Amino acid sequence: MLRREFLSASLAALALQPADTPAEESLKQAAAPSGLLVGSAVSYREINEAAFAQLIARQCSIVVSENDMKWKALRPAPDKFDFTRADALVTFAEKNGIKVRGHNLCWHEALPDWFSKIANPDNARELLTNRIDTVVRHFKGKIHSWDVVNEAVDVKDMRADGLRRSPWLNLIGPEYLVIAFRAAAKSDPDAILTYNEYGLAPDSSQNEAKRRAVVALLRWLKRNEAPAQALGIQSHLKGKSPFAGLQHFLGEVRELGVRVFVTELDVNDEPFPVDIATRDRMVAGVYRDYLHTMLEERYVEAVLTWGLSDRDSWLRHRENRAAGVPRPLPFDDRLQPKPAFFAMREEFKKASRRD
């Protein structure tokens, strides 16, 4: 970043700092009085980098492994599980009094290369339950909540039930969701079993269709005695979006007795001007609006961003922009707080003041 840009970004951050908040107050301190858990996805590299580990320990009351608990990471070969990196994360969290979300047990992505060669309709149930039994039992008692099934809905796949035509659906049928939730419940009755999904947060006709399909899916899971106890709303936001329909959606989920976590929050700044100070301010505005809406009813129990520092955001590898690099997270490349950090902290404090 140019020095001039860095200075103007820092000044913008200072301007957003409310007078009644000590400069050093952390996100988790601001959220603690309300009982809200706050944190981030983290990687093995980050927990092994002293400055980063310190940042996580200071800011987070909950973390989730960005990649190290996925199929590909934990099961390099059909007959081999490897927990080295995931265990390191859980040990780090335990040492620092941080809760851990498990992500994830069943997804159409991050399957190991051997999977498609070996899986067939005859062994797919066994492959799924064996993974869930082994992994959930391995971490039993150490996981706050498991993302049991990730991204099972895709209305674009044009099925009446809204389900994505994923390998699991193709191999087992819709029952795979019931199998997954039941297996997870058996292996760790104390973890909160979560259905995690994207494309629910901003209002749009496509997202509204997805909300409908997710509510229907949660109902269907209940009817089929699949213990889905929480909904993870991923919240990968892009640009400035309307959130007017969110309260109603949250109300519907609440009526089903399903708990809610914001699991993967970030704000893609691609639609915003390239000027860094402007962009950072606009990203902060989206954090503020979104968290204001989500936390208003005090129903959401946890807010996790998908990374803490822009430096390590998944969007840096995903996007190839003509100008500028993504700055979607609360801390910049040098681990300094950005306007988004102050906006988050202020919303957490507001939630703490509400009764």
Residues that bind ligand XIL (CB under 6 A): 66-67, 150, 234, 264, 314
State in angstroms the smallest separation of the CB of 109 from ligand XIL: 7
- Residue 354's alpha-carbon distances to 1, 5, 38, 260, 345, in angstroms, are 39, 37, 17, 18, 14
The one-letter amino acid code at 37 reads L
State in angstroms the smallest separation of the CB of 41 from ligand XIL: 7
Give the active site residue among 264, 301, 346, 347: 264
Q: Is 264 a catalytic residue?
A: yes
**Using CB atoms, what's the residue nearest to ligand XIL?**
314
State in angstroms the smallest separation of the CB of 185 from ligand XIL: 21
State in angstroms the smallest separation of the CB of 135 from ligand XIL: 15
Nearer to ligand XIL, 107 or 342 (CB): 107
The one-letter amino acid code at 278 reads T
Give the active site residue among 151, 197, 301, 347: 151
Q: What is the DSSP string of 113-143?
A: TTHHHH--TTTHHHHHHHHHHHHHHHTTTS-
State in angstroms the smallest separation of the CB of 193 from ligand XIL: 16
Contact criterion met (CB below 8 Å) for 106 and 115: no
Question: Rounded distance, CA 165 to CA 237, Å?
Answer: 24
Nearer to ligand XIL, 108 or 292 (CB): 108
Radius of gyration of the chain (CA): 20
Nearer to ligand XIL, 264 or 332 (CB): 264
Q: Is 197 a catalytic residue?
A: no
70 CA to centre of own chain? 14
Residues 6+ apart with CB under 8 A from 258: 218, 228, 229, 230, 231
CB atoms within 10 A of CB 340: 31
Of 134, 140, 132, 51, which is closest to residue 90 (Cα–Cα)?
140
Q: φ, ψ for residue 226 (rounded to 5)?
A: -105, 115
Nearer to ligand XIL, 185 or 304 (CB): 304
Catalytically active residues, by annotation? 151, 264
